Chains A and B, each alone.
Chain A
Amino acid sequence: MTTITQSAATADTPRWMSTVTDKLAPQALARAGQALLLPAIGIALFLLFWQLVAPQVNTSLGAFPAPSDVWEQAGQLWREHSNERERAERFVTMQEQRNARILQDNPDAEVRIRPYPGAPTFFSQIGTSLITVLSGFALATAIAVPLGIVVGLNRHFAAAVNPLIQVFKPVSPLAWLPLVTMVVSATYVSDDPMFEKAFLTSMITVTLCSLWPTLINTSVGVAAVNPDLLNVSKVLRLSFWTHTRKVVLPSSVPMIFTGLRVSLGIAWMVLIAAEMLAQNPGLGKFVWDEFQNGSSQSLSRIMVAVIAIGFIGFLLDRIMLLIQKKVAWNQ
């Protein structure tokens, strides 16, 4: 009798509770602890080492920043950002009030709405960098995937393009940049430019450097479609388009995504260098300006940027991985 009531009670236990108890089971707990513990130990040891060694490294701007200095500067940067945002909000409300007053006096008056003229903060620079890298990456994808499909489908075309790919792939962004800058200044002439030239220069440099992995992986994926599946397509007499859409493309999606993830990583790395030289208002420019500034906090602030760059790069890769899991059939 007792066993029956007991089993009934377990059957009644709601699902969430059983998963919670599953998670609290000693084994699961130990596993989770281990999964977190080892990385935590790694990070702690690294920070300790850094804290100890940093003061020994003397530069003309003082000792190399220790983790504590970097932490302090991160807070400082955040405060600067909050202050700046407050000021910007005040500026906007004041402008609106003034414009309202002018319109009240004279409804026909032309009011001017000016953007807040303050300098970009560290966090708004992160935003700019993200926009630039994603634009460059999107352009690279838009070029590399279709081109890769054509290269993969046509052996003659592949033979013709292969040397070009091999030669341009290893070119450093720093080599492209002067050329891109000159071409952009010469060709993008407009009185009311939609984009900043520096933005275009950085974006195009990112595109030029990051399209290769996607291009190569797409073409390899397309060329490596299982020959049996190609035969199925032939037996069904699929048209070129249906064949590409229904067989070639889905079959290469895993390879394309591997390429895209490498491309995005490269894009992010290239971007920082491009922004430094093109003076696009992003993280690269922040680093460069701090370097030129040469105050006693500069190194700490650059270190904050370094860590932010690393984290964002990591996050971008994770996001790509999530999309890949959604899209690719082999995940």
Chain B
Amino acid sequence: MIKPHLELTGVDMAFDTPNGPFLALDKVNLKIRKGEFVSLIGHSGCGKSTVLNIVAGLLQASRGGCVLDGHEVNTPGPERAVVFQNHALMPWLTVYENVELAVRQVFRKSMGRKEKRDWILHNLTLVNMQHALDKRPGEISGGMAQRVGIARALAMKPSVLLMDEPFGALDALTRAHLQDSLMTIQQELNSTVIMITHDVDEAVLLSDRIVMMTNGPAATVGEELTIDLPRPRNRVALADDPTYVHYRQAVLSFLYEKQTFPGKGDPVTSIAEPAPSEAAPAAPAIVVESTPLEPQQRAIA
């Protein structure tokens, strides 16, 4: 068998919490081919983001590891670009400058000034955002900002594109539109994608394979489902395609029959768990002192 492009082997992840270590992931194994589109699906708090962050290098696995093209992943890097759930654009930079920040950093030496500019514009055109180059993230809609986030990630020419619920915060129409663009772009570039989603339809429509995770703690890969639907895929035509419906059923049955949502009184309850990774780092103790300053200032202004 050919060597996989990306491979996770025996990944455990234990978080240090005040109540002792918390085992979030237990022996996660995953092999991904080049150009494959993989969706991670599972109940909230099961550890999907943790898997993605380990591949991104933003978290270090407690045991086991992740190998990309024969190299072990230890630190974050632009070859594993991340599209964050809430776009994570720098609010003080314009759309163009946000992509520019990435392009200047990644292709500092290898591209000329004109080449960089063309490359930035090319990627923004790809996501259909060339009309708002000088707008700031605060001045564009959530869907537009998310597109810029995708353009920024694509502009890094990543070997793997990591997406953590990229369309989670969007309305259904924008979402469908972005899913279609993502499918087109992915087919053109043949990029490897790992995408986290809560949406079963999204997973079946976009993926070559759906990786379903068991409930935490000590979550792991429960089932894998290869989606053998021809591309390009059309959401309307697929809606009552029996194969599509079958795949959809399979994922739903995994989620709602085999892995029911962690119930009340169950120690697994994700809500009661310690702060998730997205939480802001503890600010220094002096924080408290300064808070009264601001309202006071506002009042004067």
- Residues of A at under 8 Å CB distance from B? 151-152, 155, 158-159, 162, 165-166, 169, 213, 216-217, 219-220, 223-224, 226-229, 231-232, 234-238, 242, 246-247, 250-251, 253, 258-259, 261-262, 317, 321, 329-330
Contacts and interface: CB of A to CB of B under 8 A. Distances in A.
Contacts of B280: 224, 226-227
Contact of B293 (A236, A242, A262): A262
A224 B301 contact: no
A235 B82 contact: yes
B101 A236 contact: yes
Given A217-B290, A329-B91, A235 B56 contact: yes
A329 B58 contact: no
A155 B45 CA distance: 28
A230 to B, nearest CB: 8
B191 interface: no
A224 B297 contact: no
Given A224-B283, A247-B90, A321-B301, A236 B278 contact: no
Contacts of B88: 226, 228-229, 231-232
Nearest to A247: B90
7 contacts: A227-B278, A227-B279, A228-B84, A231-B76, A234-B75, A236-B78, A261-B297
Given A231-B56, A231-B88, 9 more contacts: A155-B284, A220-B283, A220-B287, A223-B287, A227-B279, A235-B56, A235-B76, A236-B156, A237-B77
Interface in B111-169: 136, 138, 156
A224 B284 CA distance: 10
Contact of B290 (A213, A229, A238, A247): A213
B77 A162 contact: no
Nearest to A235: B76
B56 to A, nearest CB: 7
Interface in B254-287: 278-281, 283-287
Contacts of A237: 75-78, 105
A223 B289 contact: no
Given A229-B88, A236-B102, A258 B82 contact: no
B286 A330 contact: no
A231 B84 contact: yes
B92 A250 contact: yes
A238 to B, nearest CB: 6
Contacts of B75: 234, 237
B2 interface: no
B193 interface: no
| The 8 residue pairs across chains A and B that have the minimum distance between CB atoms | A329-B92, A228-B88, A158-B284, A234-B76, A223-B283, A250-B92, A235-B76, A216-B290
Contacts of A227: 278-281
Contacts of A229: 88, 90
Nearest to B291: A220
Contact of B297 (A223, A236, A262): A262
B81 interface: yes
Contact of B105 (A219, A231, A236): A236
A155 B284 CA distance: 7
Nearest to B80: A235
Contacts of B293: 213, 217, 258-259, 262
B173 interface: no
B294 interface: yes
A152 B290 CA distance: 13
Contacts of B186: none
Given A234-B76, A236-B78, A152 B84 contact: no
B29 interface: no
B106 interface: yes
Nearest to B101: A246
B196 to A, nearest CB: 15
B86 interface: yes
B172 interface: no
Contacts of A329: 91-92, 136
B300 interface: yes
A158 B286 contact: yes
- Residue from B76, B91, B283, B284 whose CB has the most chain A CB atoms within 10 Å: B284
A231 B84 CA distance: 9
B18 to A, nearest CB: 17
B73 to A, nearest CB: 12
A325 B293 CA distance: 18
Contacts of B58: 231, 234-235
Nearest to A250: B92
Contacts of A235: 56, 58, 76-78, 80-82
Nearest to B293: A262
Contacts of A317: 300
A326 B106 CA distance: 31
A236 B106 contact: yes
Contact of B286 (A219, A234, A236, A246): A219
